[in-house]
Amino acid sequence: MGLNEKPMHELIRLLSVKEITIREIIRDLYRAIEERETDVRAYLELSDPDALLKEAERAKDLPLKGIPIAVKDLISTTGFRNTCGSQFLRDFRPTFDATAILKLKAAGATILGKTNLDEFGMGSSTENSGFFPTQNPFDLERVPGGSSGGSAAAVAAASAICALGTDTGGSIRLPAAFCGVVGVKPTYGLVSRYGLVAYASSLDQIGPLTRDVRDAALLLSIVAGHDPADSTSAAQGNVDYTQGLEAELKGIRIGIVKEFVETLSGKASALSKKWQEQFQQLGARFEEISLPHSKYAIPTYYLISAAEASANLARYDGVRFGHRESDESVLTMYALSRDAGFGVEVKRRIMLGTYGLSAGYADEWYKKAQGVRALITQDFQRAFQSVDVIMTPTSPTPAFKLGEKIDDPLAMYLTDQFLVPASLAQLCAISIPAGQIDHLPFGLQLIGDRFQELNLLHAAFAFEQAWS
Ligand code: GLN
């Protein structure tokens, strides 16, 4: 087994006892990248291996010992472009590091490269990248999920040890599930959004994509915590999320969502019964819960996220940064630059969002969606009075084929149906690999109440250890 296939916590241990060197880790990583990258295409930009090694050697006395981490190309990282998967920003070089990146570097991580994504995070398959689609390492004819598809595919192909992604409405959890890796969407406000290019600011969160739950807990412990540079950052974090992972699970109450169960395919339902048995053997108790407003989650999410996106993306006008098409007059320049720089899906979202917010329509669309968001949040609050975590499949099906849904935006949006309710309610959630359907990885999602990451990771860890 190459060192690139091992989890980060194991590599840290081996480095500490001097059984391996960081040079060997980097060598194995680049070997895998050489072998897999032409097919998988997870990266938009890679570090130079010699420069990376030098940096890693400088970090050898810090907790992460120089271990290279892949970063979604939506998070500002000095030394790399930050394209956001968009032609608009294909040459954009950020001048500062996001807080999450600063924290990683301070803990001794190095940056391996920037990973592919759906443009500005808008998509569920990475096919909306303005550069090229990423392929699923398990089956190159299939999508890796999105929008953090490059990060998930890199970890799954062992061309990264772990990665950062971002999740607005499922973009860490879905690719984690499709690629058979672990992905955590932290509670809104737990990880600073400073330096994360905004898609939908009331939903966006940075989180880890890793080989196992312990690595996810480790990375989360590093990137979480209050940041005065982000006004929505919570006074939370500074917690070691790896603590207590091994404790017994006994007594945990797990909710099963009545409305979701009714929609499951035969195969997904059979697998989720097995998950339930596994958790019961670990001492968990199950309870059926109801999230009656979750059936409105997809329209609510796609209205609110598009509305916020239309406002956030107004800054790309060809003036300050990014693509500039013509300068005949200011208005033509805006129009031509935006037309040439943005892809089809981004334009669709901007138009939907602008419509939903426009005078005369905002009450009917945007304000109504905000009302439904409050109802969805209340459903969860009620549920968390009787259960500790909620279990669902991460997605209705395993990874679909490239091209299968690209011309049908509604079918694409429905991929997120089990994911967006927790996003709207700003809760924490994790996807862990839990069996296969049709020989493809299938993910189990656990949703926890706000800032209950310790509980969530504890349950996920216990399951991961027991499940075979
Ligand atoms: N698929 C969803 C969307 O397109 C989620 C994206 C995300 O979480 N960034 O909006």
The pair of structure tokens assigned to 298 is 């997809």
- Kindly state whether residue 47 falls inside one of the protein's structural domains: yes
| 231 CA → ligand 1 middle, Å | 22
CATH of the domain at 28: 3.90.1300.10
Q: First and final CA of the chain: distance in angstroms?
A: 20
Give, in order, the Cα–Cα distances in Å from 372 to each of 136, 281, 292, 359, 361. 35, 37, 11, 20, 16
CB within 8 A of 405, min separation 6: which ones? Answer: 124, 125, 411, 412, 415
Give, in order, the Cα–Cα distances in Å from 388 to each of 249, 251, 319, 380, 420. 11, 10, 49, 11, 19
- Kindly state whether residue 143 falls inside one of the protein's structural domains: yes
Which residue from 116, 171, 201, 408 has its CB within 8 A of the most atoms of ligand 1, so it is best to mutate? 171
The rounded distance, in Å, linking the Cα atoms of 454 and 244 is 8
pLDDT tens per residue, the chain (468 residues)?
899 999 999 999 999 999 999 999 999 999 999 999 999 999 999 999 999 999 999 999 999 999 999 999 999 999 999 999 999 999 999 999 999 999 999 999 999 999 999 999 999 999 999 999 999 999 999 999 999 999 999 999 999 999 999 999 999 999 999 999 999 999 999 999 999 999 999 999 999 999 999 999 999 999 999 999 999 999 987 899 999 999 999 899 999 999 999 999 999 999 999 999 999 999 999 999 999 999 999 999 999 999 999 999 999 998 887 888 877 798 999 999 999 999 999 999 999 999 999 999 999 999 999 999 999 999 999 999 999 999 999 999 999 999 999 999 999 999 999 999 999 999 999 999 999 999 999 999 999 999 999 999 999 999 999 997
- Kindly state whether residue 212 falls inside one of the protein's structural domains: yes
Side-chain half-sphere of 104: how many Cα atoms within 13 Å?
30
- Kindly state whether residue 253 falls inside one of the protein's structural domains: no
Residue 164, domain extent: 3-223
The rounded distance, in Å, linking the Cα atoms of 306 and 355 is 10
- Kindly state whether residue 206 falls inside one of the protein's structural domains: yes
The rounded distance, in Å, linking the Cα atoms of 410 and 315 is 27
Residue type at position 247: A
The pair of structure tokens assigned to 282 is 């670990």
- Kindly state whether residue 184 falls inside one of the protein's structural domains: yes
The rounded distance, in Å, linking the Cα atoms of 18 and 58 is 16
The tally of domains found in the chain comes to 1
> Can you tell me which atom of ligand 1 is nearest the CA of 172?
8
Helix (H, G, I), strand (E, B) or coil at 57: helix
Question: CB–CB of 461/246 below 8 Å?
Answer: yes
Question: CB–CB of 317/338 below 8 Å?
Answer: yes
Which residue from 305, 412, 419 has its CB within 8 A of the most atoms of ligand 1, so it is best to mutate? 305
Peptide bond into 269 cis (omega under 30): no
The pair of structure tokens assigned to 232 is 């929505």
The rounded distance, in Å, linking the Cα atoms of 126 and 116 is 7
Which residue is it, tokens 């981004």? Answer: 346
Instruction: Compute how many other C-beta atoms are within 10 angstroms of the C-beta atom of residue 2.
Output: 13
- Kindly state whether residue 353 falls inside one of the protein's structural domains: no
> Can you tell me which atom of ligand 1 is nearest the CA of 146?
1
- Kindly state whether residue 23 falls inside one of the protein's structural domains: yes
| Segments of 168-258 assigned E as strands | 182-185, 205-210, 253-257
